[in-house]
Chains A and B, each alone.
Chain A
Amino acid sequence: MSASAGSRRGAVGLGRLLVRQLAAENRAFWRNPAAAFFTFAFPLVFMVILNLVFIDVPGALRFYTPALVAFAIVNAGFTTLAMSITIARDEGILKRVRGTPLPPLVYLVARVVHSSLLGLLLAGIVALFGALAFGVPLPLERLPLLVLSLLVGAASFCALGLAVSGLIPSAAAAPAVVNAIALPLLFISNTFVRIEDGILVSVGGLFPIRPFSDLLQALWDPGRAGPVEIADLAFVAAWGIAGLVIALRTFSWEPRA
């Protein structure tokens, strides 16, 4: 190989590329009012509305803080990433990037890390909001496990977002496809509506959102929601790995529209 970018670029170079890419992603994200609103404001708006609607229902406040933390992670990782990466694909941005010496993995890792950081930031805001506005205590005594759960959840839902992007035929179809998958699952997975028993518990349990939501409920309030089940975390991670495998097979850098 001739002396050139590929051979000269060591781990430090890759790290710097990743940081620059993250900074550019972040700058573009915050300048896009629609993306910033749907990713960021949605969970907070739901937080206020749902808490106010169910304010007289016993335990509702304690339920909705972890439930909407779960929603925040799913929304930033799965919904937003799947849509934005599909749009970038069909606008030809991915193809342009693919023609440069930037290693493709650096681009994808930057996207995933950015979405995960957004999800974590949002989860933190929802949790603080719950604590300050509704008096739901932060589960500080289980902080390490909480952070691990949020990280695994964010990475897994990002992987699933990439996988779904590969199955979406065009950017125009992206919102419909992504919401058609995410919204019904969110409704039956103990995030917007409390579902304690019946067939929807079993159905929801087949998909990763319900176990993730259960995990966060237990982390926040094991006395009410039961002990933390590491199996739930493993189940979410398994879905994430499956998503990664599908993404590796279906992901496309070329516009399809």
Chain B
Amino acid sequence: MAAPLGCGYGDLVLASSRAVDDEEEEEEASQKPSPSAVLRWSTQAKQEISESPNDCIECSALIVAIGPVATGFIHTYLLHQETEILGMIGSGLSEDTCNTFEQTSPADATCFLHRLKSAPSVIVCQCNVDIPPEMMFSWTQQLFSCINIHNTYVGILASAPVSEFRSSVSLSDVTVPFLRGLKTNQFHGKPVCPYLEQPNTAKGLPASVLTHCQVYRVPAVLYMCYSDSIYVEIPAIKAFLPVLKGTPFRDIVQENPHADITLRKLVELRALQNNLYT
């Protein structure tokens, strides 16, 4: 009796069929409900929202820091003042997702909304989470959902590798790290650094927040720090220093006499995570 085909002759390998269109996988994916980000307010913030006439938190300046370099900068130069945690934006239930208000280390993968006690209308969002692309829109919607953005200035800080930066000058001749800016039409000032030249673009979460501000006519400015290191380093964090002289930071920042010590501790904390086994 002949052995069945494939039995004892190794595995049957089916050739990919041209009848199966890649679009069919796309259509299957579209049947699944898309995940959304969720904003959780603290008990105090919930009470404040329920008591406000328009169910919103008043905000004159919203600072959004995205990624370890930008959040390190805000942690050192803005959040050394006394703050309270207003809420957090959750974007998933993977193993390393933080969903409590207790994990407040600057190196934790968290996304908290802070408020300065010295300036209660200033809200700072520190995003240390990698938000998946399909959640960026809902994350942005959640961020602006209960904040009264009329008369609000938005400042966004983010970083990117210099390898993504296109320049007619060879990158070996450019001093790294450097800062580039983009602003919405409603922002009437100029960024404190050169504009991001064509054909460069910003993408991901910083782009999602700036797009929202452009579409809904909110004055906003985005500062991108381009650095050549994959690790968090002090020169990259300090590259953001000029933004402290611009809107909306200059009216709310207070000098931190221990900035250098804070920076060193932050970089050491991050360095512990930057090894072969993490």
The yes or no verdict on A and B being binding partners is: no
List the interface of chain B (C-beta within 8 A of A). Answer: none
List the interface of chain A (C-beta within 8 A of B). Answer: none
